[in-house]
Chains A and B, each alone.
Chain A
Amino acid sequence: SAVISQKPSRDICQRGTSLTIQCQVDSQVTMMFWYRQQPGQSLTLIATANQGSEATYESGFVIDKFPISRPNLTFSTLTVSNMSPEDSSIYLCSVTGVDSYEQYFGPGTRLTVT
C-alpha cells in the first residue's frame, strides 16, 4: 500500500479566492486521481493527474476551475479557483499502481467556502 498525505487538512476560504491542495505519496505510483466528496455523498472523480502533461478531466470539470499539476511520480496539486460556496467539499487524492486493482486515498482536505 501507499501512504498519502495531503495539505492542508482543512481550510475556510472566502468566495472568489483560490486554494491549492497538495498531495504527496511515499512511493512512486503510476496513477494519481483527484476526487470530490460533497457532504453525505459518495466520491466523484474530478480528474486523472498525468505526469508531465495536462490532466484528464471528467465531464463537468474543467481545467480553468480545477487546474492540476503533477511534476513527478510522487506529487500532485489541485487548485480550486474562484471559489463559491458550492465548492465546499472534501477533496481527496488517490493513487494506484498500474498492475494493482487497489486504490488508496489520502486523508482528504475539507474545504469550506464562505
Chain B
Amino acid sequence: TQLLEQSPQFLSIQEGENLTVYCNSSSVFSSLQWYRQEPGEGPVLLVTVVTGGEVKKLKRLTFQFGDARKDSSLHITAAQPGDTGLYLCAGRGDTGGFKTIFGAGTRLFVKA
C-alpha cells in the first residue's frame, strides 16, 4: 500500500518567517501535487511535479520533487497570514493507475 507521510502536522509561525513542509514515501510516484485548502472550500491545486529533482517556484513558494520521486518538499519564504491553510501533498503511483493518494496534511497558521 502506498502511503504519503507529511510533516509537520501542525505549524504556527509569525509573519515573515520561513518554513518547510515535507512529504515522504517509500514508494515511487509518477507525479506529485501540492494543494492548499482554506476553511469551507475544496483543495486548490498549487503545483504538479513529475520529474525527479524538479524544482518549481510559485511566488514565495518553492516546490521540490526528490531525485528518486519518493518525496517532495514545500518551502515558503516570508510567510504571510494569507498563507494560512491546510497543505496537502498527493501523488499518483508509478503503475499507471488513476488513483491519487493524499497525505494527512499540514495545517499552517501564520500570525500577523
Interface of chain B, main secondary structure: strand
Chain A contact residue count (CB 8 A cutoff) = 22
Interface of chain A, main secondary structure: loop
Q: Which residue of B lies closest to A98 (CB)?
A: B98
A42 at the binding interface (Cβ < 8 Å):
yes
B43 at the binding interface (Cβ < 8 Å):
yes
Cβ contact of A107, chosen from B41, B92, B100, B103, cutoff 8 A: B41
C-alpha gap A102/B50 in the complex (Å): 11
Closest Cβ–Cβ distance, residue B30 to chain A (whole Å): 7
Binary A-proximity of B49-92 (CB < 8 A = 1, otherwise 0): 01000000000000000000000000000000000000010101
Q: How many A-B residue pairs have CB under 8 A?
A: 50
Cβ contact of A101, chosen from B31, B40, B44, B88, cutoff 8 A: B31
Cβ contact of B33, chosen from A4, A31, A45, A103, cutoff 8 A: A103
Cβ contact of B98, chosen from A41, A92, A96, A106, cutoff 8 A: A96
Tell me the B residues contacting A by CB distance below 8 Å. 30-31, 33, 35, 40-45, 48, 50, 88, 90, 92, 98-100, 102-105, 107
